[in-house]
Amino acid sequence: GADEAGEEPAVAEAACLGRLQQACHRFGEETSSSASVGSKRPSPNGPPASPEDCLQRLAGCFRAASRGLRAEGCERRLFADTARLVRFMERALWERGVELGPLLHHDPGEDPLAASKDKVLAQLLQSLWAEAILADEGKWKQVLVSPEGQARRELIEETGLFCMLAWRGPSGSAPWTPLRSCELPPLCGVFESLRPLAPALRLAAQAATAASTAGDAGAGATPTTAR
């Protein structure tokens, strides 16, 4: 797998954005209609996209990218890069003093055209998580009917949701903290299609927390190492 331990954070983040931009270019064709009006498909060799642009495009093609790269056996890199992007976006909000929690709840009476930039960002993060979950919808349905045990744990650990939630970054980085934008109650409140899967999603969130906190305590390799 790729080892980024020797990279400066800014260098690693730029490389991450570059890889995600390439994934969006490759897999975004079939979902280009979901992009905002007037936006252009990114060129893989063009200037790097901003984190916000990358998030918007990724939210529109993540399901296709996840399934396509999984078929090639190289989906873990996508999961790690996406987790890094989400953590970067959440950190940017925190550094500006923006509380993410209230932005994650949907108000049916709210005018979408009047949403603040931060609210739109929170909605994009939630859309990305929903796409990541629905990319593995078949696996979640299996988890729901599987008895507790190793087979169910292995099934959960194959999902993009688990890999992204458990991602810890290179060795020596800051202690793991949960990603706020994937809090399940508001996420399932916004996306009705996720509600039947909620019990399985909670198992994945619990497993990711256990795996990541064990990593902070000095456990061995995490299941989120990019390959």
**CA-only gyration radius of the chain, Å:** 17
Contact at 8 Å (CB) between 69 and 78? yes
Domain borders along the chain are: 9-216
CB atoms under 10 Å from CB of 125, counted, come to: 25
Burial of 115 (0-12, 13-18, 19+ CB in 10 A): middle
Task: State in Å, rounded, how far the first CA of the chain is from the last one.
Answer: 4
pLDDT attached to residue 226 = 43
* pLDDT tens per residue across all 227 residues of the chain: 344 555 677 788 889 999 999 999 999 865 444 444 344 444 555 666 799 999 999 999 999 999 999 999 999 999 999 999 999 999 999 999 999 999 998 876 677 666 789 999 999 999 999 999 999 999 999 999 999 999 999 999 999 999 999 998 776 566 778 899 999 999 999 999 999 999 999 999 999 999 988 766 654 444 444 43
> Helix or strand or coil: residue 176?
coil
Question: pLDDT value at position 68?
Answer: 95
Tell me how far the alpha carbon of residue 51 is from its chain's centroid.
Answer: 13
| Full-model pTM | 0.82
Count of all residues that appear for the chain in the document: 227
Non-local (6+) Cβ contacts of 114 within 8 A are none
Amino acid at 204: A
